[in-house]
Chain A
Amino acid sequence: MSEQPVIQIRNLRKTFTMGKQKVHALAGVDLDIAPGSLTVIMGPSGSGKSTLLYLLGGLDRPTSGTIQVNGRYLDQMDENDLGLFRRKSVGFIFQSFNLIPSMTAMQNVIFPMRFTGVSNKERQKQAARMLSQVGLAKRALHRPTELSGGQQQRVAVARALVNNPPIILADEPTGNLDTTSGFGIMKLLSKLNLEGRTVIVVTHDMRMCQFASNIIYLLDGLTVSEAEYEAASHFEIPEEEPEEV
């Protein structure tokens, strides 16, 4: 039985106007994402990956086209509904972590719950659970500056999970990390996916592909096949010549 996609995107366009110049960040994207899948979005810098991810998460509005998440059209929601959608349905993970420096790991994880009606006790419990799930139970009272990059990103993952959203959106989550801790985050995302969440990851890192259930290639605001993508990469990014010493 074919599952109904959790996310359905049709002819999605996003155009930025910079003075008189128009940038077509997304130029008509069609995309279906199955529930419980781990989707990796690949593409060169400026191809529109972040733009796509933000539109999916209701952080931005499309110029045209439709985004359907769980049967609801994001493009038709008002600001308030979008806020509630982000609160309940998606968890964001950013390249630069976006932790609040004055708050401890615990407080950062609790932060999203402060906008919901969850009781104080429940917040503490839930945040502690999330921190131990990302392996940081012992770092709960540390501030971001007292944590390594990998640990900070784990805190961000715990924060994304704390309202228990069915969809996790990660924008180059390993971009600021060394290889080892980056791989740790990838495994963590895979684990979340195996627990049943729909995970969408924007990344350059090919290692992520081994966890992916499908890979989407973006070029100049359009989805392309792997073959087209490969071909383009070969033309546009010539192999670097080894430096002579």
Chain B
Amino acid sequence: MRFWDLVSLISENLRRRKGRVFLTAVGVVIGTAAVVLLVSLATGLQKSATSNLWGITDLSRIDVYPNYGEGMYMEAVPMGGGGGGGTTSNVKLLTPTVLDEIAAIPGVKFVIPRDYMYGQGMIQFGKFETWAGLMGVKTDNLENLGYELDRGSMELRKGTIVAGSWVVQNFYVPNLRPGQEMPELPDILDQRVKLKLTKWTTDGQEVSRTVELKVVGVLREMRNEADGSFFVSMEELEAWNTWFNNGQRINRNKNGYNDVIVRAESPEVVMDVTQQINDMGYMAYSPQSTVEGINSFFVILQVVFGGIGAIALLVAAIGIANTMTMAILERTREIGLMKAVGATNRDVLTIFLGEAAGIGFLGGLGGALLGWVGGYALNVVSMQFLASQAQQQGYMSTGLTADTPLWLLLFAILFATLVGFLSGLYPALRAATLEPVTALKYE
């Protein structure tokens, strides 16, 4: 039998029993719509969850910290019988030698230590000022950290400073008279600011020191820790920290760094590099593992939701099997005739399987459409609700949204067709193996 003959015969047969085909397909429509809507919800939740994640934009990044915990614990509990090795501390510090080792791991592009300022600083710009969350990074360009530039440049040299996206908005004018409007901050880019460092001597004397810096760049909002910081070169920061420490310089070979950013050559190798650094005994954490964890949670959610919908489809499958069994009883003589005029068993099997799959396909088509429209309607309603809430609260939060990817629609239609096909299997086999003579005599 030729394919198009098959298709036209199947569609004729389905049209001949419109009412019943429609009722049977309604079951499939409901099941498919449930699958589409529920999986869309899970996908929508995943999207909003991922977009709410704090600054996971740079998937090549690994945060590495020294490992103190275990070593200190081991030292506190002396082993009976004594290990011969003369227990050197298990503390794993991030000394420059270690950083070189990490840099040598294949797939590592940059190893950049960071540090904070150990004292108080205030940045002054004209009559504006702000508390400075200052961070020193051991690189000459912030681009190496994966940061993104809004304007200016990200190069760090002696005497330059780069501002995070939010700190620019934190400048204020102190001692405003009541009722006086806060003036607007002029563009800070390429302007000179004063950094005023303050410390107290042991006898309570306030000592301060002022450094002049040029703002060479402002970062783009990345929703991570960079948004709230100013950046200077590590050398400069260490000089100020030495001043805070009363002239004592930190020995990195002895104390290591507390905070190191490793950037991998590509997101693909991140998990592997993270593992290797952990194996070396340091604490490596990649945002990607969070993303993966969240993603796998939502995959499970999708499967569970899809499964709930699939139960509805199972009920529909029983409906299809029932309809096909009825059809075969009613059309027994017709099956006999088909065989008498030369249809082979395979022809008959294919026709009835096709009819069952056809009901599944039609239901799947309707269900995919309904599920998609339903998700859209849900989004409209939820947007309206959120908008009314936003008026009260002053900000818009992400809420319940459905996200229907194309693959889901195609998959749902395919799946419904498969369900139809499988439900038709037994009835169609019975039709195909009917004895022609018995079928022709059937009343």
Contact = CB atoms under 8 A, between A and B. Distances in A.
Interface residues of B, number: 24
Given A59-B436, A60-B436, A86 B346 contact: no
Contact of B16 (A86, A102, A117): A102
Interface residue tally on A, bucketed by range: 20 to 34
A236 B340 CA distance: 34
Interface string A71-82: 000000001100
Interface string A183-218: 000000000000000000000000000000000000
Nearest to B331: A100
B339 A86 contact: yes
Contacts of B337: 98, 100, 111
Interface in B317-346: 333-334, 336-346
Interface in B265-289: none
Contact of B345 (A83, A102, A163): A83
B347 A83 contact: yes
B440 interface: yes
A159 B338 CA distance: 12
Contacts of B342: 83-84, 86-88, 112, 115-116, 163
B283 to A, nearest CB: 70
Contacts of B5: 114-115
A89 to B, nearest CB: 9
Contacts of A102: 16
A80 B346 contact: yes
B211 interface: no
Contacts of B2: 117
A229 interface: no
Contacts of B343: 83, 87, 115
Nearest to A159: B341
Interface in A85-131: 86-88, 92, 94, 98, 100, 102, 111-112, 114-117
Main SS of the interface on chain B?
helix
Interface in B421-443: 435-437, 440
Nearest to B343: A115
A114 to B, nearest CB: 5
Given A114-B5, A117-B2, A60 B437 contact: yes
B180 to A, nearest CB: 89
Interface in B1-22: 1-2, 5, 8-9, 16
B339 A83 contact: yes
A183 to B, nearest CB: 25
B332 to A, nearest CB: 11
Contacts of A59: 339-340, 436-437, 440
Nearest to A123: B5
B80 to A, nearest CB: 83
A59 B435 CA distance: 8
Contacts of B9: 114
Contacts of A80: 344-346
A61 B346 CA distance: 18
A229 to B, nearest CB: 25
B339 A100 contact: no
Contacts of A115: 1, 5, 338, 341-344, 347
A86 B341 contact: yes
A37 B335 CA distance: 30
By CB atoms of chain A within 10 A, which of B338, B340, B436 has the most? B340
A111 B339 CA distance: 11
Contact of A92 (B16, B341, B344, B435): B341
A92 B336 CA distance: 11
Contacts of A159: 341
Nearest to A91: B341
B437 A112 contact: no
A92 B340 contact: yes
Contact of B435 (A60, A87, A114, A163): A60
A117 B5 CA distance: 9
Contacts of A116: 342
B21 to A, nearest CB: 14
B437 A54 contact: yes
Contacts of A100: 334, 337
Given A54-B437, A60-B435, A115-B1, A87 B16 contact: no
Interface string A157-169: 0010001000000
A69 to B, nearest CB: 15
Contacts of B345: 79-80, 83
Nearest to A97: B337
B350 to A, nearest CB: 11
B440 A83 contact: no
A70 to B, nearest CB: 16
A102 B8 CA distance: 15
A98 B339 contact: no
A79 B344 contact: yes
Interface string A121-151: 0000000000000000000000000000000
A74 to B, nearest CB: 13
A21 B346 CA distance: 33
B344 A83 contact: yes
27 contacts: A57-B340, A59-B436, A59-B437, A60-B435, A60-B437, A80-B345, A83-B343, A83-B344, A84-B344, A86-B339, A86-B340, A87-B342, A88-B342, A92-B340, A94-B440, A98-B333, A98-B340, A98-B440, A100-B337, A102-B16, A111-B337, A112-B341, A115-B1, A115-B5, A115-B343, A159-B341, A163-B342
Per CB-CB distance, the 4 closest pairs between chain A and chain B, nearest first, are A87-B342, A83-B344, A112-B341, A59-B436
Given A114-B1, A114-B5, 10 more contacts: A59-B437, A80-B344, A80-B346, A84-B342, A98-B440, A115-B1, A115-B341, A115-B343, A117-B2, A163-B342
Interface of A: 54, 57, 59-60, 79-80, 83-84, 86-88, 92, 94, 98, 100, 102, 111-112, 114-117, 159, 163
